[in-house]
Structure 1
């Protein structure tokens, strides 16, 4: 099935396939991508430097894990609040407000660094506040994207967003590694400026169609609507659970500072490039997906790329070659990008607009568990098993998880095209008991 050609004003111009260049004709899409680029570069600079600074101060992989845990806990605690706010209030303003919160955290890190290395618990406290801002931003910002274009054009928009986001994951770590060699305060100052700069574009976005915002008073039933929808929709549960378990065990990015120092013996700038390797792989794949998006065998493709993700992680964990470690991270992140693209298309396509914020909040906890909680798991495993097998063992578990999900969730492996995905005919209402 070909997608109808859609112009920026929402009209159709025949049965020709819509290109990525035509999707960029939407002013709202351009503004959304501009805000994403600025915020993501700033966040990558900040996180790259924060993990490295903590490890340089303490020399303990477990402290890297504690930073990840401090960023994850707020997402878990706020899952019901953040999703309800995204569905109740203007998502653009909520995003802008907490981008300012991120900028304030970066300023606090500037103060910490300028004053010299104070108690490390202060970095954990700032990471917790940063995680709180992230928890509030994620469901609101992710719920804006489906409102920018018609549904038939949305997978193209996801491809452009992932290309932008992962391009930022190249630029951010490289810039962060370079600025860290000059001094962490410079890196945090740049990160703060980028976060504040991302606010104006997102506030200027005009929606393509109405988001169907909630108007009722907050209740427990409305707050847990996202959890209920995920539990009762097998495809959504399968997609976000697969990402959770795969990256929770197979994620190795948090341990890159330790790998660069202890196994590869490289300095700050080489560390920055190694930290950028995932972005290079992901951005390259995102560009490919923008030009040639996945159209058929969507479910089986997702399962295969998760297995590739795990296999690449095994290689990264065991090698002592900088070049091979770099290539392994590129492969791992390219596979993860395909997974992100498929998941980022499936979830909004099967979720009603008025529940999207709450569902994205639940997904955000799953993603946070896989990333930030995964960083904590990696730190604990490195302490217990040693650095190589903490990473390689997680990769082997990820391969097994992909095989297990193929058996447990037949509805996932049967997905052929995105066009067959629609919200349930009788979706779970927000106020259902």
Structure 2
């Protein structure tokens, strides 16, 4: 038996890993189905683009308000129970939406209220859930486990919207009922995880404790550099926010072309995650991360200048693949380089940075495109990403010189 096969077998035999992957990715799949159903239903009820924007706002506000307290909770209470509780609340909320839709009593404000509930649950669920993987697998197997998890997540991100769109034709209540079953399945899988909880001394809730993740990152320049690099790259390179405009006015590709463009980044991400699962990144991780962000910027520029649908889809696939490499290195730094008692709060900061960059990046791209045009906006975003990459290589030499991911240790 080859060493590669032995390593893969060792990974799959890690107690609790399969349950962790099922719990995380079934929940991600359900969230994608629900997002499609909510978008279609709110627009059908209001015929308002602003209403679609409010859906995003109703999810974002609870995250901003609760993410730091959620990180504190994740570091002082049973993380598995936190995630299970959130997933059970999501199950009940989706069931309520299914019944209300079936009875035709679910209006816009009801949808906004339910979306806020989901946003609050995700704020508490994600920091706790992000700590599972390094607790279940040894550092030597973490890169493979992270790549496998990322690959499954991307598959869920592709399948969820596709199935959600098909099922919505049968009714929003069918979509929400499926989501309730999927969230319930995630809760059961999370409950089956073999994850020990070590009770920690209870600490009073203080500003110093709640914002401890920020203070920790200030003492870890390589980790701070990785998180902030990803933030600015996504903030500047938010080309995906303009895909409908590109499909309509630049590529003249119609709805089928838009579907291909939207699938591009996810397809590239799945392929790269599969490659990293088979051949994990073992050396020069920091330099590879910077190279991947630079490729992300170049792919953004190519997409911005392209007038060919195949070339545009290919550029988006490269963009998605490069993003996975950056995400994997950052994830290893954050999870393996953080002591277990701080992982919840540091994951909360990471979530806030990345979540904010995605939404602010869409806002920045939209505003800049409306001012100077879509093509110049996307190209400038790609150039900005390249500039930030060069600056960060000089500002964070420790990140640039990072070598092996499996040798990252917490202090």
Does the pair score TM above 0.5? yes
Distance in 2, matches of 1:218 and 1:47, equals 34
Q: Which residue of 117, 126, 135 maps to 2:123?
A: 135
Whether contact under 8 Å (1:280, 1:330) holds in the other structure is: yes
Whether contact under 8 Å (1:305, 1:336) holds in the other structure is: yes
1:429 equivalent in structure 2:
none
Q: Which residue of 206, 211, 221 maps to 2:194?
A: 206
Query: In the alignment, does 2:86 pair up with 1:98?
Result: yes
Taking a change above 3 Å as real, the CA distance of residues 137 and 258 of structure 1, as seen in their structure-2 partners, is farther
* Number of residue pairs the alignment of both structures matches: 406
Moved more, 370-379 or 346-355: 370-379
Which stretches in structure 2 are left out of the alignment for 5+ residues?
none
Q: Which residue of 309, 321, 325 maps to 1:334?
A: 321
Distance in 1, matches of 2:169 and 2:376, equals 30
User: Larger helix proportion, structure 1 or 2?
Assistant: 2
Distance in 2, matches of 1:51 and 1:385, equals 29
Q: Which residue of 245, 254, 262 maps to 2:232?
A: 245
Distance in 1, matches of 2:152 and 2:5, equals 22
Q: Which residue of 148, 151, 163 maps to 1:163?
A: 151
Query: In the alignment, does 2:182 pair up with 1:194?
Result: yes
Taking a change above 3 Å as real, the CA distance of residues 133 and 391 of structure 1, as seen in their structure-2 partners, is farther
- Per-residue deviation at 1:410? 1.1
Q: Which residue of 213, 216, 233 maps to 1:226?
A: 213
TM-score (norm 1): 0.83
- Per-residue deviation at 1:127? 3.8
2:293 equivalent in structure 1:
306
Distance in 2, matches of 1:96 and 1:366, equals 25
- Per-residue deviation at 1:246? 1.0
1:47 equivalent in structure 2:
35
Whether contact under 8 Å (1:248, 1:371) holds in the other structure is: yes
- Per-residue deviation at 1:265? 4.5
Distance in 2, matches of 1:377 and 1:34, equals 35
Query: For 1:27, what is the secondary structure of its paired residue?
Result: coil
- Per-residue deviation at 1:70? 3.6
- Per-residue deviation at 1:166? 1.5
Whether contact under 8 Å (1:313, 1:332) holds in the other structure is: yes
Q: Can you list the C-alpha shifts for 1:162-220, whole angstroms capped at 9, x where unaligned?
A: 1221221222232233334555554344333322221100111112x655645323233
Whether contact under 8 Å (1:227, 1:359) holds in the other structure is: yes
Which stretches in structure 1 are left out of the alignment for 5+ residues?
1-14, 425-433
2:356 equivalent in structure 1:
369
Distance in 1, matches of 2:91 and 2:366, equals 27
Distance in 2, matches of 1:420 and 1:359, equals 19
Whether contact under 8 Å (2:139, 2:406) holds in the other structure is: no
Q: Can you list the C-alpha shifts for 1:276-307, whole angstroms capped at 9, x where unaligned?
A: 33222111111100110111111111111112
Whether contact under 8 Å (1:109, 1:188) holds in the other structure is: yes
Structure 1 residues 263-342: aligned runs within 5 Å: 263=250, 264-267=252-255, 271-272=258-259, 274-342=261-329
- Per-residue deviation at 1:88? 1.3
Distance in 2, matches of 1:360 and 1:271, equals 33
2:18 equivalent in structure 1:
30
Q: Can you list the C-alpha shifts for 1:86-137, whole angstroms capped at 9, x where unaligned?
A: 1111111111222233345545665469749955x76555444332222111
Taking a change above 3 Å as real, the CA distance of residues 329 and 130 of structure 1, as seen in their structure-2 partners, is farther
Query: In the alignment, does 2:403 pair up with 1:421?
Result: no
Distance in 2, matches of 1:127 and 1:84, equals 23
Whether contact under 8 Å (1:35, 1:199) holds in the other structure is: yes
Distance in 2, matches of 1:373 and 1:68, equals 12
Distance in 2, matches of 1:116 and 1:46, equals 18
Whether contact under 8 Å (1:40, 1:169) holds in the other structure is: yes
Q: Can you list the C-alpha shifts for 1:209-232, whole angstroms capped at 9, x where unaligned?
A: 655645323233222221110111
Distance in 1, matches of 2:285 and 2:144, equals 15
Moved more, 166-175 or 329-338: 166-175
- Per-residue deviation at 1:33? 0.7
Q: Can you list the C-alpha shifts for 1:32-65, whole angstroms capped at 9, x where unaligned?
A: 01112211111222334545666786575x7665
Whether contact under 8 Å (1:64, 1:376) holds in the other structure is: no
Query: For 2:130, what is the secondary structure of its paired residue?
Result: helix
What's the RMSD between the two structures over aligned residues?
A: 3.0
Distance in 1, matches of 2:36 and 2:377, equals 21
TM-score (norm 2): 0.87
Taking a change above 3 Å as real, the CA distance of residues 59 and 276 of structure 1, as seen in their structure-2 partners, is farther
Distance in 2, matches of 1:112 and 1:256, equals 30
Taking a change above 3 Å as real, the CA distance of residues 326 and 178 of structure 1, as seen in their structure-2 partners, is farther
Query: For 1:217, what is the secondary structure of its paired residue?
Result: coil
